[in-house]
Amino acid sequence: MPQKNVFDDEILEYAGASGGVPVTLAAKYIGMSANTLREALRQGRVGFGMAVKSESGKWVFNIQAKPLVEYRNRFHPMLGESVLIRIVRDTLADTLAETLNDFRNEEETRL
């Protein structure tokens, strides 16, 4: 069964939520297994969340949405969604400006 892609907006819906982003969703979003992410959180190796061992001995995980999106978009080997959107937007704006300039020059030449 094909897996659904997880996008920035879906993660950002958890901003400010108690408990933050669920571990399984965050792991899928950054392309690692949930167990690997839990271990990274326990060891303090990622800056977007933390793990705390409760008095009962159970691990509690908290993953913050905005730092998670920033991590993926900045450090993930694949470009993040927001980076791609910026690249496309900037490229289209430049292309449109050049096309309009060429059109204006052609019109001036005709007159």
CA dihedral (102, 105, 107, 111) in degrees, to 10, reads: -170
pLDDT in tens, the chain (111 residues): 344 578 889 999 999 888 799 999 999 998 889 999 999 999 999 999 999 999 999 999 999 999 999 988 886 555 555 655 666 777 788 788 888 888 888 888 877
Task: Report pLDDT for 6.
Answer: 82
Task: Report pLDDT for 77.
Answer: 52
Task: Report pLDDT for 2.
Answer: 42
Residue spans per domain, the chain = 1-78, 79-111
